Amino acid sequence: MLVDLNPIAFQLGPIAVRWYGIFMALSFLVGSWYLYREGLRRGLEEDFLLNLAIIVIISGVIGARLMFVLANYPTWFLTDRIQIIKIYEGGLSWHGGLLGGFLAGWLYARWKRIDVNQLADLVVPGLAFGYFLVRIANIFNQEVLGRPTDFWFGRWPAQVIGSAIGLLLLARYFYVQSKNPPHGYQFWSFIFYHQVLRAVIEETVRDNPLDVWGYIVPHWGLGFFTLTQLTTPPVLLLAYYFMWRSRRAARVRYRS
């Protein structure tokens, strides 16, 4: 059963302020604050950190929106261009945002000759907290719905499940951080475990279109295979390679 929630939090004259925008702005604020605080502790310059946060946020939003539109509504580029910029209505791709933010941040860090792996680790709390909040915002927008089931709750609470994944990964980050992991490990292990949890749990109960070999278990409301599930193996291989590489580099430094 769907709950009728108002996606608009309040009005400022003709401007409607939506819960989706509020939660996303809060996730940006928390993530930037953590990056700024920890970056200063590690001796990075204040201007660099502030510029990095702005670059990553803007590039992440652009990448997230473009990937979503390309994957779902490519005709908008020809028929309804104004719809492309309406991100306040929802419709952002997690992978597109991650790719856009990472590439822009990587280029800026390389230009400034700063260790990219160290910086990538510092954005993990913002990513995890953002995933937690945005999935809650999806409830207000009545999107990211779960598949119908024959159980008493009628439909899987896919947004709540996704939000729980974000919280779990946030807790994991601080636990692993207490073990003093090598630079880069936190970021790539976040990518690895997020992809596993999303593909195995969230995508299985989420009411997404099925691609090749599509199959649904009607009573349980489970679906295989979505695009995210099909693209998971190469993402896991990439993330695991960089996890291994970060641990290997740490062992080499320790021996020398």
**Residues that constitute the known binding site:** 135
> Which residues does residue 224 pair with via DSSP β-bridges, in sequence order?
215
User: How would you class 256 by CB atoms within 10 Å of its CB: exposed for 0-12, middle for 13-18, buried for 19 or more?
Assistant: exposed
What contacts 45, CB < 8 A, 6 or more positions away? none
Alpha helices in the chain (DSSP H): 19-41, 46-72, 76-79, 81-84, 94-112, 116-122, 124-141, 158-177, 185-197, 203-205, 227-230, 232-255
In whole angstroms, give the CA distance from residue 191 to residue 237.
11
Burial of 99 (0-12, 13-18, 19+ CB in 10 A): middle
How far is CA 39 from each of CA 53, 68, 180, rounded to the nearest angstrom? 11, 31, 16
42: phi then psi, degrees, rounded to nearest 5: -95, 10
Q: Is 155 helix (H, G, I), strand (E, B) or coil?
A: strand
Nearest to 50 by CA among 29, 65, 27: 29
